[in-house]
Amino acid sequence: MFRMEASFLRPYMMLSTTSPTTAYIALGSNLGDRRAALARAISEISARVGPVTAVSTIYETSPLNPPELQESSQPDFLNAVVQCSTLLDPFKVLDEILQIEIEMGRERAEGLRWGPRIIDIDLLAVGSCTIATSRLRLPHPEIQNRDFVLVPFAEIAPTYIHPVLERTVQTLLDELRMGSADSFVRP
User: Which residues are part of the catalytic machinery?
Assistant: 106, 117, 120, 122
> How many angstroms separate the CA atoms of 77 and 32, rounded?
11
- Least Cα distance to 28 among 63, 93, 62, 78 occurs for 78
> How many angstroms separate the CA atoms of 36 and 118, rounded?
10
- Least Cα distance to 123 among 49, 61, 47 occurs for 49
Positive/negative CA dihedral, 84, 131, 15, 158:
negative
Q: Report whether 17 contacts 131 (CB < 8 A).
A: no
> Which element (helix H / strand E) includes 86?
strand 77-86
Number of other CB atoms surrounding residue 178 within 10 Å = 7
Q: List the beta bridge partners of residue 78.
A: 29, 60
Burial class of residue 69 (count of CB atoms within 10 Å of its CB; 0-12, 13-18, 19+): middle
